[in-house]
A and B are shown apart, each in its own frame.
Chain A
Amino acid sequence: MTRDNSYQAVMARKNEIMKSSMGLDYETYRQGELAFDYERMMNDCGFTLEDIIRIQSETKVGNTPMFELHNLTAAVRKISAPGKGARIFVKDEAANASGSFKARRASISAYVAAQKGYKGVIAATSGNYGAAVASQAAQRGLKCIIVQEVFDSKGIGQPEIVEKGRKCEAFGAEVIKLSVGPELFYYLLLTLEETGFFNASLYTPFGIKGVESLGYELTHQIRNMTGKDPDAVMITHAGGGNLTGTARGMLAAGCNAQVIACSVDLSGLHMASDRDFNRKSFTTGHTGFGVPFATWPDRTDVPRNAARSMRYMDDYILVNQGEVFYITELLAKLEGIERGPAGNTSLTGAVSLAREMDADKIIVVQETEYTGAGKHHNSQLSFAQKMGIEVRRGNPEEGVNGKSIVIPERLAQVKGHRQDMEKLRLSYLKNAAKQLDPAKWTDIDRAFVAADVKKDLKWLDQALKQI
């Protein structure tokens, strides 16, 4: 008997495919129409933080250096009001096996897949996560398939994604390259069904637990280096796993620093548009993922997303493409290190925020990533020019996404801007209300929703009147 592999038929088989590809039954955590037991789901994977750190150390993950960026801090102080300009630190996550923090996220999934006897792992991602899964799978003796959105209808590949595909192949993975569209998930399901491999989704408890070691490590490193806790930790935000895992790890270390998200503002560009696909110079860490995932985490490839960023987010800074390119270049020129776009996004946010903070405060940029052909900012800008995008120096606020990139003329023009947190929370509530009429929410649902946006029931009652 041949199976019906139409889009609708495969999507209808989603739940059974997910269950067999992870050995995880999400139904057991269900508490209501909206609510589920998030902490029990996170703890049920059975790993303590010590276990995570031990498993990661087996496959070249973790224990990455922390650097103070003295020269960049000095440059920021020059353009700040007297007494302002916080100390900027960066955690060099590029030192992980696959060149980014994503190795943490992949490490536990690969370990679990091997323990449970799966022959291989599959992940759907165009990001560093693919290379991370491939690298971890290689070390655990597992086969690996990475499903990527790579090229537009003219067959032109985004250079950064092409590079990430190359890296996956370098670690022995099969790379399935797809054209633009949300049907990536459809093809992931088909491939899981065909192979019986483990679904190394970005959004499982394993993925997020793996990042907790990052928050834990950074807290202890800053304590050792400065004798105090960081005041703010800036986290590049897309799907929410980086922020969620890091914040949970910080809390485990007893650190209550401000948790601040940062994304590249790509407003005006549609994420599933064939035309827009190659007119954005950032493939992740942008608002096209950051905002929808913050305001409704359960839009992903698992039934309940373990990455729930609004539970931990205190603030959200947006930066534009030109600002990040400027800071990327400045990092090389002032600090003598070349790093890739993801960490440089949060570094740009940190520069803009450091100007407002007192000089004795500490802000930590919690990741870097590798760079190279395709990922390098010169490569992205050169590609943008070929796609008809104007690149010039000037006031970065004048840049129009998809049309122009304006690189600041000087550091003082790197300002970023704040995303309205209250608006994000209300947007989350509207999405929750679409799932179930708030009049029908039980007390457990109400408590869950409030916790999911880091607020209390009193706030919830007021906020529900506004949507």
Chain B
Amino acid sequence: MNEVKAGTWVEVEKILLTPEQRAPQVPEDTRHTPYVMRVAGFLTADSLYGTEVTVKTLSGRMVTGNLKVIHPHYTHSFGDTVEELLTIGIGGDI
């Protein structure tokens, strides 16, 4: 079993509003999707991946949600090189 130890830094996900509960003004394509929250925190008890758990967030709140990510981290980057940019501003006329 994928047991995750208490105290592990994890991310939980929670559906805040189902499609039927959403604000009346949301456009058509958004209306069919649930309103979802994700927040990271320290797991408060040994738990199984994919189950409902409680985390203590950085501000000290207790938040319950589905355990989605263990050790969440950032992977955003500078992206693949976009060659259209490389020739701007070098040599000759601008």
A70 to B88, CA, bound (A): 18
Is there a chain B Cβ closer than 8 Å to A116's Cβ?
no
* Residue from A163, A183, A326 in contact with B35 in the complex, judged by beta carbons closer than 8 Å: A183
- Point out the residues of chain A lying under 8 angstroms from B80, CB to CB: 382, 385
A391 to B84, CA, bound (A): 8
Q: Which residue of A lies closest to B74 (CB)?
A: A166
- Point out the residues of chain B lying under 8 angstroms from A411, CB to CB: 94
* Known A-B contacts A7-B17, A166-B74, A176-B37; A410 and B22 likewise in contact (beta carbons under 8 Å): no
B33 near A177: Cβ-Cβ < 8 Å: no
Interface size of B by Cβ–Cβ distance < 8 Å? 39
* Residue from B23, B29, B57, B88 in contact with A7 in the complex, judged by beta carbons closer than 8 Å: B23
Is there a chain B Cβ closer than 8 Å to A238's Cβ?
no
- Point out the residues of chain B lying under 8 angstroms from A166, CB to CB: 74, 76
A124 to B85, CA, bound (A): 34
Binds B, one of A85-93, A228-236, A268-276: A268-276
CB-contacts of A361-389 with B (<8 A): 373-374, 376-383, 385
Q: What 1/0 mask marks residues of chain A from 151 to 183 whose CB sits below 8 Å from any chain B CB?
A: 101000101001100100100111111111111
CB distance from B43 to the nearest CB of A (A): 15
CB distance from A285 to the nearest CB of B (A): 20
CB distance from B26 to the nearest CB of A (A): 5
The count of A-to-B residue pairs whose CB atoms sit within 8 angstroms is 147
Q: What 1/0 mask marks residues of chain B from 31 to 47 whose CB sits below 8 Å from any chain A CB?
A: 00111111111000000
- Point out the residues of chain A lying under 8 angstroms from B29, CB to CB: 273-275
- Point out the residues of chain A lying under 8 angstroms from B39, CB to CB: 174-177
Q: What 1/0 mask marks residues of chain A from 376 to 412 whose CB sits below 8 Å from any chain B CB?
A: 1111111101000001110000000000000100110
Binds B, one of A25-33, A328-336, A440-448: A328-336
Is there a chain A Cβ closer than 8 Å to B90's Cβ?
yes
A307 to B21, CA, bound (A): 32
Q: Which residue of A lies closest to B57 (CB)?
A: A174
- Point out the residues of chain B lying under 8 angstroms from A374, CB to CB: 76-77
* Residue from B30, B59, B77 in contact with A274 in the complex, judged by beta carbons closer than 8 Å: B30
* Known A-B contacts A329-B88, A330-B89; A179 and B36 likewise in contact (beta carbons under 8 Å): yes
Q: Which residue of A lies closest to B33 (CB)?
A: A153
A343 to B80, CA, bound (A): 24
Is there a chain A Cβ closer than 8 Å to B16's Cβ?
yes
CB distance from B18 to the nearest CB of A (A): 11
* Residue from A157, A163, A378 in contact with B81 in the complex, judged by beta carbons closer than 8 Å: A378
A382 to B76, CA, bound (A): 11
CB distance from B92 to the nearest CB of A (A): 10
A382 to B61, CA, bound (A): 37
Q: Which residue of B lies closest to A334 (CB)?
A: B89
A381 near B59: Cβ-Cβ < 8 Å: no
Is there a chain B Cβ closer than 8 Å to A44's Cβ?
no
B58 near A381: Cβ-Cβ < 8 Å: no
* Known A-B contacts A173-B59, A194-B61; A180 and B94 likewise in contact (beta carbons under 8 Å): no
- Point out the residues of chain B lying under 8 angstroms from A377, CB to CB: 85
* Residue from B27, B79, B89 in contact with A381 in the complex, judged by beta carbons closer than 8 Å: B79
**Most A-side CB within 10 Å, residue of B25, B36, B93, B94:** B94
B74 near A182: Cβ-Cβ < 8 Å: no
* Known A-B contacts A330-B88, A334-B89, A381-B85; A7 and B22 likewise in contact (beta carbons under 8 Å): yes
A183 near B22: Cβ-Cβ < 8 Å: yes
Is there a chain B Cβ closer than 8 Å to A466's Cβ?
no
A153 to B88, CA, bound (A): 36
- Point out the residues of chain A lying under 8 angstroms from B77, CB to CB: 373-374, 379
- Point out the residues of chain A lying under 8 angstroms from B82, CB to CB: 378, 381-382, 385, 391
A181 near B76: Cβ-Cβ < 8 Å: no
A143 near B59: Cβ-Cβ < 8 Å: yes
Is there a chain B Cβ closer than 8 Å to A6's Cβ?
yes
A180 to B17, CA, bound (A): 12
Is there a chain B Cβ closer than 8 Å to A75's Cβ?
yes
Closest CB pairs A-B (n = 4):
A382-B79, A333-B89, A153-B33, A374-B76
Mark A residues whose CB is within 8 Å of B: 6-7, 75, 78, 120, 143-145, 150-151, 153, 157, 159, 162-163, 166, 169, 172-183, 186-187, 194-195, 270, 272-275, 325-326, 329-330, 332-334, 373-374, 376-383, 385, 391-393, 407, 410-411
Give 14 CB contacts A-B under 8 Å: A145-B59, A150-B38, A173-B58, A181-B26, A181-B30, A183-B17, A186-B17, A329-B88, A330-B89, A333-B88, A378-B79, A378-B82, A381-B84, A382-B81
- Given A169-B58, A174-B59, 17 more A-B residue pairs with CB atoms under 8 Å apart are A7-B22, A120-B59, A151-B38, A153-B33, A174-B41, A176-B38, A177-B38, A179-B34, A181-B35, A183-B22, A273-B29, A330-B88, A332-B89, A373-B76, A378-B79, A381-B82, A382-B82
